Chains A and B, each alone.
Chain A
Amino acid sequence: MTGDQAASVRGPAPQGRLGPLVARRLRRAVDALEQVLAGLATGVLALLVLVVVLAVAALCLVGVGLLLVPAVLRLLRGVANRERGRISAWHRPLPPGGAPPASVRAAASDPVVRRELGWLALHATFGVAIGLVGLTLPLWVVQDVTYPLWYRFAGPGSAPSLVFVPVHGLGGALLVAALGLVFLVLFVLLGPGIARLQSWPGATLLAPLGAADLSRRVAELVTTRAAALDAHAAELRRIERSLHDGSQNRLVAANVLIGAARRAVSRDPATADELLEKAQTATEQALAELRSVVRGILPAVLDRGLAEAIAGVAAGSPVDCTVDVDLPTRCAASVEATAYFVVAEAVSNTRHSGARSAQVTARQVAGELRLRISDDGHGGADERAGSGLTGIRRRVDAHDGRFALSSPVGGPTVLEVQLPCGS
């Protein structure tokens, strides 16, 4: 029913600002009535199909029912598609389901069929009941409001539904009409809700399953991919920063010093030599930093996995180092590189702590790589003292990881690092 037809139902044009509101409400109530009627129709169909389904299920117990299953599935898909069409028209678009599974086994394992059966049971009972309530209310409205016109023919002392006292005369009939108006108001207020309630099982259970799954999966992938790209960008930024702040600046300084030395060479050979000495130191530093950056980008040993790389670190450790690594899957390459760097740096730090032994533990817990490096040295490690700890923190931060150091004077020293796996 269209808006124009709905407008004709509302009677005399309402006055003032309330007018448009009342008109809109009435139109919605009429829409709701139409929905409930259509819903009642599919509900009755669902009830019939439910009876067939139950009968065939019973026949399956004695074997012959199995032959009827494909036909029942087509019936089920047909009624479900009718409901999908109804919901698409009023609520949200639901694409119709395709051909139902051909075999009994395929049907038994098909989640769509299972959800359709669930919907069938709900809509055949609950949906029909709601439909009846939704239909009864407007019927009462019509019956009661028109009562003054036909109470004479109803016989003396009779009464319409829900009026439990006999009605006498026009006064009583007008009171019944007033009651009808109350029902009208009730339906106007509750009708849309009733219609939504009736459509709810279909809207939830008949929605395409795969698409919802797929879109959730896509959303997940987008998020993890963004996180991986962020980690990647952070890593590139770190490399750029260490190249710029380290090697490049050293080389620029060496260049400046060589330039100065060339100017001084004839004038003041002693100064020139001093400048060249500084320049040489600067190039040596540049080379050392370049080496550490190159090693830090992606240690070749990681090709064989983090576990083996960590074992290699332990083998070259200055103190006796035991390793306990349990990593069932691989992390993003940049995360593994950072983990390797953390372990290598921490193990080489044990040299300063007077430790006799060290332990390295690596675990994967809830998408995180957890590293724990401890030693039995004298403790007192301080990040500000310029050990490799600052470098460790910087790299861990770049991956949104966590870094915790406990090193009381007297030991032991425990370094714990957690890195999101990023894959």
Chain B
Amino acid sequence: MRVVIAEDDPLLREGLSLLLRAESIDVVATAQDAASFLDAVERERPDVAIVDVRMPPSHTDEGIVAAVEARRRQPGLAVLVLSAYVEQAFATDLLSTGAAGLGYLLKERVGRVEEFLAALQRIADGGTAIDPEVVAQLLTRHPARSPLTRLTARELEVLALMAEGLGNRAIARALVITDGAVHKHIRSIFAKLDLAPDDQADRRVTAVLRYLHDDAPR
């Protein structure tokens, strides 16, 4: 797997490259700001780009803008956006480019290396990785009359994991239940929320996130 990293903090940039190289992932370029990041993507054509949200000059949302732009220039480029805090609005911006090959995670998730590598692999394979924090933000902002209130506790857990981008098997492993049980829960959730059932993980993520987003009062 070939990776480009855009991160302005030198220590973190080095730490990330070190970690990925130790896992025999090929870090082909590192960048300190949005412009050099876009150049590096153009030049190296990586499989995955890892981008920090806040970068010079204004330290606000350069990473989001750069990630959206990189995906526009190179459709199908997998992008993992890392951030010190999650902002649902940023997630919405990113998802406007499609959920396939997209990740948006808190920086500290990197420390759980095994899960981080799994998420990275999932993104590189065209899947999705949305931080549980984003999903939690979306899930808590719902009016009392929302159809979400009709879901059972277990179904809500399954819905959250679906929204994070996990596939059926990963959900089954996370909740320690069988694949069949997961399948049954998902059918029930989609029926209760009036969504068309879809087994394709990234299309399912899009549908679920859009549902959660539209249902939330703004």
Which residues of A come within 8 Å of B, CB atoms?
A: 241, 244-245, 248-250, 252-253, 255-260, 262-264, 271, 275, 278, 282
Q: Are A278 and B15 in contact (CB under 8 A)?
A: yes
Stretch of B110-118, B119-127, B192-200 contacting A (4+ beta carbons < 8 Å): B110-118
- Which residue of the partner chain, among A252, A260, A263, A282, contacts B108 with CB atoms under 8 Å? A252
Q: Are A256 and B15 in contact (CB under 8 A)?
A: yes
* In the bound complex, CA of A244 to CA of B23 (Å): 28
- Which residue of the partner chain, among A252, A253, A264, A282, contacts B22 with CB atoms under 8 Å? A264
- Which residue of the partner chain, among A245, A248, A249, A256, contacts B19 with CB atoms under 8 Å? A256
At the interface, is chain B mostly helix, strand, loop or mixed?
Answer: helix
Q: Are A244 and B54 in contact (CB under 8 A)?
A: yes
* In the bound complex, CA of A411 to CA of B9 (Å): 35
> In the complex, what's the smallest C-beta–C-beta distance from A190 to chain B, in angstroms?
61
Q: Are B108 and A255 in contact (CB under 8 A)?
A: yes
Write out the residue numbers on chain B whose beta carbons fall within 8 Å of the beta carbon of A278.
15
Write out the residue numbers on chain A whose beta carbons fall within 8 Å of the beta carbon of B23.
263
> In the complex, what's the smallest C-beta–C-beta distance from B107 to chain A, in angstroms?
4
Q: Are A255 and B111 in contact (CB under 8 A)?
A: yes
Sorted from nearest, which 7 A-B pairs have the closest CB atoms? A255-B111, A259-B111, A260-B19, A256-B15, A259-B113, A253-B11, A252-B107
- Which residue of the partner chain, among A248, A258, A264, A271, contacts B111 with CB atoms under 8 Å? A258
* In the bound complex, CA of A256 to CA of B10 (Å): 13
The contact string, 1 if C-beta is below 8 Å from chain A, for chain B 5-27, is 00001011001101100110000
At the interface, is chain A mostly helix, strand, loop or mixed?
Answer: helix
Which A-chain residue is minimally distant from B13 (CB atoms)?
A253
Write out the residue numbers on chain B whose beta carbons fall within 8 Å of the beta carbon of A245.
9, 59
Which B-chain residue is minimally distant from A279 (CB atoms)?
B15
**Please, could you name 19 A-B residue pairs with CB atoms under 8 Å apart, sorted by A?**
A245-B59, A249-B11, A250-B11, A252-B12, A252-B107, A252-B110, A253-B9, A253-B11, A253-B15, A256-B107, A258-B111, A259-B19, A259-B111, A260-B18, A260-B113, A262-B113, A271-B22, A275-B18, A278-B15
Write out the residue numbers on chain A whose beta carbons fall within 8 Å of the beta carbon of B12.
249, 252-253, 256
Q: Are B22 and A256 in contact (CB under 8 A)?
A: no
Q: Are A257 and B59 in contact (CB under 8 A)?
A: no
* In the bound complex, CA of A264 to CA of B22 (Å): 8
Asked if B181 is at the interface (CB within 8 A of a chain A CB), the reply is: no
Write out the residue numbers on chain B whose beta carbons fall within 8 Å of the beta carbon of A256.
12, 15-16, 19, 107, 110-111
Q: Are B18 and A249 in contact (CB under 8 A)?
A: no
Known: A260-B22, A264-B22, A278-B15. A252 touches B84 (CB 8 A): yes
Write out the residue numbers on chain B whose beta carbons fall within 8 Å of the beta carbon of A241.
59
Write out the residue numbers on chain A whose beta carbons fall within 8 Å of the beta carbon of B114.
263
The contact string, 1 if C-beta is below 8 Å from chain A, for chain B 151-176, is 00000000000000000000000000
> In the complex, what's the smallest C-beta–C-beta distance from A281 to chain B, in angstroms?
9
* In the bound complex, CA of A87 to CA of B3 (Å): 80
Which B-chain residue is minimally distant from A281 (CB atoms)?
B11
* In the bound complex, CA of A253 to CA of B84 (Å): 11
Q: Are B116 and A259 in contact (CB under 8 A)?
A: yes
Write out the residue numbers on chain B whose beta carbons fall within 8 Å of the beta carbon of A264.
22
Q: Are B15 and A248 in contact (CB under 8 A)?
A: no
* In the bound complex, CA of A38 to CA of B132 (Å): 80
Q: Are B84 and A249 in contact (CB under 8 A)?
A: yes
> In the complex, what's the smallest C-beta–C-beta distance from A268 to chain B, in angstroms?
8
* In the bound complex, CA of A278 to CA of B11 (Å): 9
